[in-house]
Structure 1
């Protein structure tokens, strides 16, 4: 597997991947995290344009995608019911999903991001048991609760 930046012409592939991810999440007890429309195509295009959208490729096929950026994320400035493991500079991963064809693709993406910065923060919905298991399996520690800009609660994890 290989990680690279997403190309603008790959937007439709990402849109289909997220459509499938929303169906998967809803069928696994998590219908609210991304609802029926998140992430909107414009968010994905903004991620690509800013250079923060990445894809995981195997045999010339995109099998996973995610947002990665190093630096302060406004969502993580305040944490409730806990605390971050440290206050050192960090990277963040958002909107990670895979197409489910290659086992371990999401773990590969998370490990790639961690290896880039050595201090990684991520959050997920309380109902996203699949993602919580993935984070636990990959050495992330539960740190507390954060709130998105729209007020939605997320549980926060960090790996150092």
Structure 2
């Protein structure tokens, strides 16, 4: 699986963020926080979350990705890594579908300039992992609707570092249908 650059249709390419992107990423996150407040999500991403230090850490670790439009404008940012997410070790009101390896999407934010960013993010992440997990706040109506449309399964409630609950979801990469007679 390639973790480089991927074109995801409608003139969007996704690649790892660099230190040069950080100021733009912080602006996208600030806009996303404002959008959350406007859509009734007053308690997620408070206190300036994600902080510049978190974004810098994501970039340095190679876990920060950016979606770029044909015009070169940043359309979305997200963090993705394959491996254990400690906050997912304890899940209430449900369970994970399996104990296999997984990748985790965190901190997805879009400029709102183009729709379908979660789908593009998920399509890209499926090039890196067969099983994806993510979580969001119960008040994040737009994200809850989007993960449902994409076929994510609600698995239960997890708690993030500050102790607040999040609704947890998982999805396995769809199998490629077998076509008899083809090799």
> Do they fold alike, i.e. is TM over 0.5?
yes
Runs (4+) off by over 3 Å: none
2:43 aligns to what? 32
Q: Tell me how far 1:61 sits from its aligned partner.
A: 1.6
Whichever of the two has the greater Rg, that structure is 2
Counterparts of 1:24-63 in structure 2, within 5 Å, are 24-59=35-70, 60-63=72-75
Contact 1:75 1:146 in 2 (8 A): yes
Contact 1:71 1:91 in 2 (8 A): yes
SS at match of 2:54: helix
| Aligned: 1:70 with 2:70 | no
CA distance, structure 1, for counterparts of residue 35 and residue 47 of structure 2: 12
Aligned length: 160
CA offsets per residue over residues 63-92 of structure 1, 9 Å max, x none? Answer: 000000000000111111100111110000
1:19 aligns to what? 30
Q: Tell me how far 1:114 sits from its aligned partner.
A: 2.5
| Aligned-pair Cα RMSD in Å | 0.9
Relative to the length of structure 1, the TM-score reads: 0.97
Q: Tell me how far 1:56 sits from its aligned partner.
A: 0.7
CA distance, structure 2, for counterparts of residue 31 and residue 87 of structure 1: 33
SS at match of 1:149: coil
Q: 2:169 aligns with which of 150, 157, 160?
A: 157
| Aligned: 1:110 with 2:125 | no
Between Structure 1 and Structure 2, which shows a larger proportion of helix residues?
A: 1
Contact 1:21 1:97 in 2 (8 A): yes
CA distance, structure 1, for counterparts of residue 158 and residue 126 of structure 2: 20
